[in-house]
């Protein structure tokens, strides 16, 4: 009978812990105990170093020249929804706004919402969002719906190229 208490690892998948610092007869290097001699990594305790640490040498990211322009500083972030997704989720004549899109799980983060024109639209919607692409706006209006722009400026997210 298969039960959780009877489960064991596959043979050979678990290794015995290497016991170091037990002298010459241990089979693990004797004096240095497989750690080499002296220095930070030979000591006990905290031997963890960040992956970019180069032993005190000026790190590569600081040595290379930094020139040119990077637009990530000025990039605006939107949560995007396609008109094809609106067609699939909402009924004809629905009032589509940020709250209804969140309930339908089309929008998950608290960013401005931009409607994009990918997909076909046959149903009539009244859509309210922060931004619309040209094709999305024309598809919504062609289907007999209306477009309402919400006030507010685009958001720059920390950690994704935005200024702090």
Domain residue extents for the chain: 19-45, 75-149
CA-atom Rg of the chain in angstroms: 29
Kindly indicate the confidence band of residue 33, based on its pLDDT and cuts at 50, 70 and 90.
Answer: confident
Kindly indicate the confidence band of residue 19, based on its pLDDT and cuts at 50, 70 and 90.
Answer: confident
- Condensed to tens digits (0 to 9), the pLDDT of residues 74-130 reads 888 889 999 999 999 999 999 999 999 999 999 998 889 999 999 999 999 999 999
Which has more pLDDT, 115 or 2?
Answer: 115
Contacting residues for 76 by C-beta, under 8 A, at least 6 apart: 154, 155, 156
CB 78, CB 42: distance < 8 Å: no
Fold classification of 75-149 is Ribosomal Protein L15; Chain: K; domain 2 (3.100.10)
Structure tokens at 24: 């010459």
Query: What is residue 99's three-state secondary structure?
Result: helix
pLDDT of residue 163: 43
Q: Which strands make up the sheet holding 113-116, listed edge to edge?
A: 79-82, 113-116, 131-132
Backbone angles phi, psi at 113, to 5 degrees: -105, 135
């Amino acid at each position: 009978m298969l039960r959780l208490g009877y489960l064991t690892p596959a043979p050979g998948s678990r290794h015995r812990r290497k016991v170091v610092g037990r002298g010459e007869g241990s089979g693990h290097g004797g004096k240095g105990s497989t750690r080499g001699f002296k220095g930070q990594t030979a000591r006990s305790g905290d031997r963890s170093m960040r992956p970019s640490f180069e032993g005190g040498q000026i790190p590569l990211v600081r040595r290379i020249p930094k020139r040119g322009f990077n637009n990530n500083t000025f990039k605006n972030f939107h949560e995007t929804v396609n008109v094809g997704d609106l067609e699939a989720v909402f009924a004809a004549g629905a009032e589509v706004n940020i709250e209804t899109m969140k309930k339908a799980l089309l929008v998950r983060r608290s960013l401005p919402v931009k409607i994009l024109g990918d997909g076909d639209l046959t149903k009539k919607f009244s859509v309210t969002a922060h931004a619309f692409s040209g094709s999305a706006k024309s598809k919504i209006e062609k289907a007999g719906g209306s477009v309402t722009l919400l006030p507010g400026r685009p958001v720059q997210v920390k950690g994704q190229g935005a200024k702090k």
